[in-house]
Structure 1
Amino acid sequence: MESHIRRFLNNLSFASIAIATLILIFLFLQTPQTCIPQNSPSKPHLKFPKSSCDSTPRELVSIDKKNKRLWSSNDWKKKLSSFINFFQSIRNLGLLHNHTKFICVSAGAGPEVMALSHMGVHDVTGVELIDSPPLVSRVDPHNLPFFDHVFDLAFTAHLALALFPSRFVSKMERVVRPKWCEVAKLFADAGVICIASVISPYRRDRDACRAILPDGYFIEMFMDVPFEVCEARDAKGLYKLARAGKIKV
């Protein structure tokens, strides 16, 4: 390539870079005509933005202010009253006490947690995918990070919205202490025959259910069903875990 052509191309490149730089600086310094004028105040309006030019900054609301606004709404008060009435019915059955260790799964903003606290329940844990302090902590309801049998009661009002309902329920069952016969005992005390399906791979859990009722009140029925049929109907996979040696009775 001839030297004069090379010099011409180099000069053209430098000129293009210089022009592009000047245009970029001009664009940075120039306010678009379609947006807010330069002489407008810092907060020209507090309405909902209708276009990208409505550049009103969102104010950072503190958690206390947010909760105060939420808890004073009529919708929150209705939910709170509804949950209090529901939990009171459980308390009337003798299943809920002030010392009950309670977990609310998929609790949303936590109206059920507040309802239990207002009723005097001291140990209430609320969990949800999105935390809502101080009532609800951020935890995946499908993967509860708690040890087995650490809670007395578990509650959820949003099972229908669960992505995997069976896994959702199995996690709740895992963290709750086995008390299958508590409700059956209430019926027995009232003179009503109650059929309870006491399913547990652990002998101590089954023995605990037997010990709830006096001698002669707990009648165990044996169903002569082939092992293969029981294993095929096992929704929780307990037979599979037992075969793998992961469950020791």
Structure 2
Amino acid sequence: MMMTNLFSAFDPSSSFSFPLNWISSLIFILCLIPIFWIIPTKPFILINMAVSKLHSEFKTLLGPTSFSGSSLPFIALFTFILVNNFLGLFPYVFTASSHMALTLTLSLPLWLSFMMYGWVNHTKHMFAHLVPQSTPGALMPFMVLIESISNIIRPLTLAVRLMANMVAGHLLMTLLGNQTSAASGILLMGLLSTQILLLTLESAVAVIQSYVFAVLSTLYASEITSH
């Protein structure tokens, strides 16, 4: 019962028949409005620099054989996860990236598209990838089994990694926030200082986890396209 109440803060339920709190994952569309100004603003210049940096890095990870513009879906994925992670740090804003319903929806179609493209267009390469080089003949069946299992659980690990990191920080901030109402004096100041430090840490985690998700997705794609 205690654990149910503890995690109820992450329950995506609402008082309406339609779960309106999931709309928070689309609020980032409002950030696109300043792009249409004739004179670029300073935030837009900063975003443009970050996108250019991500494009060059993802292009390097995908390899020289990648298609033109192949890094754009991963940049969009990074931006979508980053905005959702940051929105969850604001009070009374639903954190969509802390639920498997969103994280698995992002990782599973990506993995399926990579697998379908690889097995249809590069079948020999996909079979060769199951057995690393210099593997003894006696270990080949076991290596095929291990590589197959590690490949199958990739979308699950991507989804769980993002969800668990977001839930862990938000849960700790929720627990400390519930104690501030009963605290006073030095204890209250300590709790507030800890909350500020946790908020700073969660801001860094929001960036890191979105970057890790996008980079791992890029690496999974590069394993198929580069051969």
Band of TM-score, shorter chain: under 0.3
User: Which structure shows the bigger proportion of residues in strand conformation?
Assistant: 1
Structure of higher RCO (CA pairs closer than 8 Å, 6+ residues apart): 2
User: Which structure shows the bigger proportion of residues in helix conformation?
Assistant: 2
Tell me the TM-score normalized by structure 2. Answer: 0.23
Tell me the TM-score normalized by structure 1. Answer: 0.21
